[in-house]
Structure 1
Amino acid sequence: MSPNPLTARETYQILRDIALGVRSMRRIGEHSWVEIYCGLMTVETDGWVITFYNDCDTLDYCDSCYNPEGSAYTFDSSKRFGTDPVELLSTWEHRELERLLSLM
């Protein structure tokens, strides 16, 4: 991991920007959200590389996020609630991000 890891809050801000339409994302890899159904999907937005976990067509958590400078957030299931950026999204933001992913 980089010497300056990204916080869940910093990563959440990028996810929120995507949900609000401030940033657009593109899929990295050949499989769509629906084709993956259960597994990891990676996207890119403005140099940020974000990997989400798709649990049966549901956005479950953010597995990792790397900013253009190389700092990273990585998911750790042993951490307490609120350390996954997806948990910080409002209900509407979560639903919108999930909808945008399903279109990819």
Structure 2
Amino acid sequence: MTKVGSQSWAQLYTCHFQIDVEGWWITIYNDCDEMDYCERCVSPEGNCWEFDPGDRTDPIALLSTWEHQTLARMLKAL
């Protein structure tokens, strides 16, 4: 996992943060240093999925507690 932009998670305190995970571009909303929701996922082939905040299909909402905590630590380390 790598960040797409030049700013770190902490620098984008309340903004969208984009990461690249094996060619998948994932946009996550950073809400005051807390992972809030996934706005968009784009596959390596260019297929795009967009999610509304609070939507039950939001991938962030589907994570277990352990997965959520692990992803949050990984984002803060970028």
User: 1:40 and 2:30 equivalent?
Assistant: no
Q: 2 CA distance for matches of 1:75 and 1:82?
A: 9
TM-score (norm 1): 0.71
| 1:96 and 2:70 correspond | yes
**Aligned position for 1:29:** 5
CA-atom RMSD in angstroms: 1.2
Distance 1:91 1:81 in 2: 18
**Partner Cα distance (2:41, 2:47) in 1:** 8
1:53 to 29, 32, 38: 29
What TM-score comes out, normalization by structure 2 length?
0.93
Q: Which structure would you say has the larger Rg?
A: 1
> Match for residue 84 of structure 1?
58
- Structure in which a larger fraction of residues adopt strand: 2
2:43 counterpart (67, 77, 81): 67
Higher relative contact order (CA 8 A, sep 6+): 1
Give 1 or 2: higher helix fraction: 1
Moved over 2 A (4+): none
Q: Which 5+ residue runs of structure 2 have no aligned equivalent? A: none
Paired residue secondary structure (2:11): helix
Identity rate, percent? 46
Q: Which string of whole-angstrom CA distances, capped at 9 and with x for unpartnered residues, describes residues 43-97 of structure 1?
A: 10111000100000100000100001111111224xx742101000001100110
